[in-house]
Amino acid sequence: MILDVVRLVLFPALMAFAAASDLLTMTIPNRVSLVLAAGFLALALASGMPAYDILTHIGAGAAVLVVAFACFAMGWVGGGDAKVAAAASLWFGFAHLLDYLVYASLFGGALTLLLLQFRQWPLPHALAAQGWLSRLHAKESGIPYGIALAIGALMIYPETEWIAAVDILHFAAP
């Protein structure tokens, strides 16, 4: 039952934290990516995931890390975004990787368009005192892509083997 709680809570909570952190500070702490990676490994081992499957999940994470850091080097995404995308990909493996990347890209495009439009409007004086909102509104500011990565991840996560393994009857018992 503890493994079920971890499966239900750990990944979604960390992705939600990454999104909130990126929205409010335009950064994603390294510890989020580290806990995602360590959490994957601990849960995979505790769940009895075969070594081959663990290695393929690591391969998916490594592939995304390489591509994401190339995007970072070109200035297209932030370093925190690259690390979170790779850490989330560990949880999905190749089985759900394409779906995750498509969702994250679609939400990222929508977020970018919304923020570009938002930045065209004047920020009301009462809201300008909010530091996070001023950063978000600044035209020279980046896009908090961690939000799109988190939404994409949370769209795919219920389809994964992590959730399929949860024994819902433990939670439904009176």
Inform me whether the pLDDT recorded for 169 exceeds 70.
no
Could you report the per-residue pLDDT of 72-107, keeping only the tens digit for each?
999 989 999 999 999 999 999 999 999 999 999 999
Query: Which of 151, 173, 163 has the alpha carbon at shortest distance from 6?
Result: 163
What local confidence, expressed as pLDDT, does residue 171 receive?
Answer: 60
Inform me whether the pLDDT recorded for 124 exceeds 70.
yes
What local confidence, expressed as pLDDT, does residue 25 receive?
Answer: 94
What local confidence, expressed as pLDDT, does residue 127 receive?
Answer: 87
What local confidence, expressed as pLDDT, does residue 106 receive?
Answer: 98
Helix and strand numbers (H, E) in the chain are: 9, 0
Taking the C-alpha atoms of residue 20 and residue 129, their distance in angstroms, rounded to an integer, is 19
pLDDT-based confidence at residue 21 (cuts at 50, 70, 90): very high
Our CA angle for 21, 86, 10, nearest 5°, is: 60
Could you report the per-residue pLDDT of 40-74, keeping only the tens digit for each?
999 999 999 999 999 999 999 999 999 999 999 99
Could you say which DSSP state residue 26 is in? S
C-alpha dist (Å) from residue 125 to 28, 142, 143? 28, 22, 22
What local confidence, expressed as pLDDT, does residue 128 receive?
Answer: 83
Taking the C-alpha atoms of residue 171 and residue 174, their distance in angstroms, rounded to an integer, is 8
pLDDT-based confidence at residue 129 (cuts at 50, 70, 90): confident
Taking the C-alpha atoms of residue 36 and residue 34, their distance in angstroms, rounded to an integer, is 5
